[in-house]
C-alpha cells in the first residue's frame, strides 16, 4: 500500500513541452483541471499528496515519474533521455532524500521512470527512445543487492515501456495486443488492449484500485470483469502531451 504521492503542478508553459502528437495543442486550463482531479483521486485512496511547485523552464516537469525509480529500499534518481528534461530530477532528489537512500544514474546512461515497471522483486526496464542500455544496466546493478531480477525489454511501440504494459495487481498485466506473446512476460495473466485503445494501457494500479483513462469502453469492460474497483479519469488533455496516469506521480 502506498502512503505518499509526489506530484508537481503543471506550469504556465506546460503545453510547450515535448510531444509526438499532432493537431491542436492541449488546453492549458483543461490540462491543469485534469491534473487537479487526479490529485484528488489519489488523496481519496489514502495517499498524502506532496505538492511541488511548477518548475520554471521545464514544461514537462509535471511528468514527475520520469525523474526517479522508487523501491521500498532505495530511490534511484534518473538521467532523463530527453536533454531538455535534464535538471528536473534535481528538486525531486531533494524531496526523495527525506524518504529513501538515494542512488543516481550517471552518463552516458539515460533512464526515464516511465520505462520501469516493478512487480514484487522483478524489475522490467524498457529500452526506448529515452532509456539506453547503459542506463538500464546501471539500474540493474543498483537493484541487485536488494535481490531484484531485472528484465530488459525492447520498446518498439509507444514512448515508454508503460505506454504498452502495466501491472494491475497480483500477476495480472494490462498489455497491448501486439506484446501479448512476448516471452519477457511469460507467467503473467494478460488482459489485452486493442490498437484503437492503446492509451488505456497506461492504467494505474494503486491501493487496490484501478485508475483508468476514460473513453476506452472495451478496456473498461475487461477491467471491470476482474472485479477490481475501477475509477475513470479524463486524460485527453494530458495525452496530447504524450502523458498518462502513471507519469503524473511518484508513489511511495
CB 12 within 8 A of CB 54: yes
CA distances (Å), origin 102, targets 6, 69, 143: 16, 10, 12
Residue 247 designated active-site: yes
91 C-beta neighbours (distance < 10 Å), count: 17
Scan for cell 535538471, then name that residue. 87
CB 64 within 8 A of CB 49: no
- Residue of 160, 199, 201, 209 with catalytic role: 160
Residue-wise DSSP of 90-102: HHHHHHHTTTS-E
CB 59 within 8 A of CB 17: yes
Residue 4 designated active-site: no
- Residue of 150, 199, 209, 247 with catalytic role: 247
Q: Pseudo-torsion of CA 18, 24, 30, 34, nearest 10°? A: -50
CB 2 within 8 A of CB 44: no
Dist. CA 24–CA 42, nearest whole Å = 29
Q: Which residues are catalytic?
A: 160, 247
Amino acid at each position: 500500500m502506498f502512503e505518499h504521492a509526489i506530484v508537481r503542478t503543471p506550469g504556465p508553459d506546460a503545453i510547450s513541452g515535448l510531444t509526438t502528437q499532432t493537431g491542436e495543442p492541449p488546453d492549458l486550463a483543461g490540462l491543469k483541471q485534469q491534473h487537479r482531479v487526479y490529485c484528488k483521486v489519489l488523496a481519496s485512496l489514502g495517499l498524502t499528496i506532496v505538492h511541488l511547485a511548477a518548475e520554471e523552464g521545464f514544461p514537462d516537469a509535471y511528468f514527475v515519474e520520469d525523474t526517479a525509480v522508487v523501491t521500498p529500499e532505495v530511490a534511484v534518481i534518473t538521467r532523463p533521455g530527453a536533454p531538455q528534461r535534464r535538471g528536473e530530477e534535481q528538486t525531486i532528489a531533494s524531496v526523495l532524500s527525506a524518504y529513501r537512500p538515494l542512488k543516481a544514474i550517471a552518463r552516458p546512461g539515460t533512464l526515464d521512470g516511465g520505462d520501469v515497471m516493478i512487480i514484487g522483486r522483478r524489475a522490467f526496464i524498457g529500452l526506448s527512445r529515452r532509456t539506453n542500455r547503459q542506463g538500464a544496466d546501471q539500474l540493474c546493478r543498483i537493484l541487485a543487492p536488494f535481490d531484484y531480477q531485472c528484465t530488459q525489454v525492447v520498446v518498439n511501440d509507444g514512448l515508454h515501456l508503460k505506454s504498452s504494459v502495466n501491472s494491475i495487481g497480483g500477476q495480472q498485466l494490462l498489455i497491448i495486443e501486439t506484446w501479448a506473446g512476448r516471452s519477457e512476460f511469460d507467467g503473467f495473466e494478460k488482459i489485452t488492449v486493442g490498437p484503437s485503445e492503446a492509451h488505456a494501457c497506461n492504467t494505474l494500479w494503486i491501493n487496490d484500485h484501478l485508475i483508468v483513462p476514460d473513453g476506452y469502453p472495451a478496456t473498461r469492460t475487461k477491467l471491470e470483469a476482474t472485479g477490481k474497483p475501477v475509477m475513470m479519469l479524463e486524460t485527453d488533455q494530458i495525452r496530447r502531451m504524450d502523458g498518462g496516469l502513471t507519469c503524473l506521480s511518484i508513489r511511495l
